Structure formats: C-alpha cells, structure tokens
Chains A and B, each alone.
Chain A
Amino acid sequence: DTGVSQNPRHKITKRGQNVTFRCDPISEHNRLYWYRQTLGQGPEFLTYFQNEAQLEKSRLLSDRFSAERPKGSFSTLEIQRTEQGDSAMYLCASSLPAAAGELFFGEGSRLTVL
C-alpha cells in the first residue's frame, strides 16, 4: 500500500470553470476527509465520509462544492464556477473507523484560479 493518493497534483484554471479532484485513500481506511489550506494557514475541515456516507460538512463547503464517495473507496471533490478565492491546496486524508482515528494525508492538490 502506497498511502493516500491525490490527483491532479496541480491544476490551473480560469475563473468560472469547473474542476474535479480525486482522492484514493489507504485501502483499509473507511473514513475519508477533505481539508483546504490557504497560504500561511493551517488546514481547514471541509467534509468527511464514513464508507459512502457523507456524515459532516463544514459551512466552508458552499453550494459550488460537492464531494462524493460513491462506492466507499475513492472520493471526488468538484468545484463548480471557480472563483479566485478558491485558490488553495486541497488535502485528502483517511483513517480507520475509530472516532478521531489517526489521520494520514495525501500530497495534496494545488488549485490556482486565474
């Protein structure tokens, strides 16, 4: 097992376009998290899944954002009608199902909106 995998690693897009990020968690982990990190700040929670169920969403996740985990394995995070303020690093993490189990992060997907 090679850990949490994210792609693409970098995405440059024009304002108004849609983008999608993919996360493949560690295989035996059934919890999957999305975080966002802007320059000089710590990661901020966006949402998390247990298996295919999306159990919690932050108010940071506006209606332009949607996350799915259709089969309880990989997850996608889509941002519609991107804005310059969406420019950030999007981080995915996974953990075992115990409450607040140890998080393991992927390498992140860096989004730049022009």
Chain B
Amino acid sequence: GIQVEQSPPDLILQEGANSTLRCNFSDSVNNLQWFHQNPWGQLINLFYIPSGTKQNGRLSATTVATERYSLLYISSSQTTDSGVYFCAVSTGNQFYFGTGTSLTVIP
C-alpha cells in the first residue's frame, strides 16, 4: 500500500500562534482527506482535497498531487484545536492513513 508520512509528529503551540502540518505520500492518489481526532476518538472531517486549496475559517489546506504532498494550515490557534490530525490518501477503494500529528495548544 501507499506510505503516508506526517510531520511533525508532535507540536506544542501557544494560543494564537500559526502552524503548518505536512503530509507526504509515496504514490499517485486520487483523493486526500484531513481529519481531526477529538479526545473521544472520533475522526472529524476537515477537508476533502484531492488537489488545490480550500479554506474553512482559521483552517486551510493545499494539496499538490503531482509533488505528492499536502499541507494543513492552522492560524490563530485555540485550545480547542488540540488533538491529533490525520492525513488519509486513496488510490481507489480504500484510504491509507498517516501516523498523525499530535497538536497541543497552550493557553
């Protein structure tokens, strides 16, 4: 299967700071999603972004499929942004997940 690498593995931010999370993948994909896993374990959809750029409030994402990476930007971070962020990519019928970036936002 496809290898998905996320960086950094851990990130600690002061509230109000900005951050960039990266997802690299090893092969061509036809779809990509970003998720936020809440403290109870549920995966919350952030972006469905096979290519291009999308924005939703303080969050935005860019996928450059030809170069096999995607970036998730978090601006003006809040304590509620804490949690694990996963990138998942697909070549067809299943998604492959990275090991995530664990984000802690300190007040």
Contact = CB atoms under 8 A, between A and B. Distances in A.
Interface residues of B, number: 24
Contacts, number: 59
Given A41-B99, A42-B97, A43-B97, A100 B92 contact: yes
Given A43-B86, A100-B31, A100-B90, A105 B43 contact: yes
Interface in B63-101: 86, 88, 90-100
A1 to B, nearest CB: 15
A41 B33 CA distance: 17
B30 interface: yes
A43 B1 CA distance: 14
Top 6 A-B pairs, shortest CB-CB distance:
A42-B97, A100-B90, A100-B31, A105-B43, A102-B48, A107-B42
Given A103-B45, A107-B41, 16 more contacts: A41-B99, A42-B4, A42-B100, A43-B86, A43-B97, A45-B95, A48-B94, A93-B43, A100-B91, A100-B93, A101-B31, A102-B31, A104-B45, A107-B40, A108-B41, A110-B41
Interface of A: 33, 35, 37, 40-45, 48, 55-56, 89, 91, 93, 99-108, 110
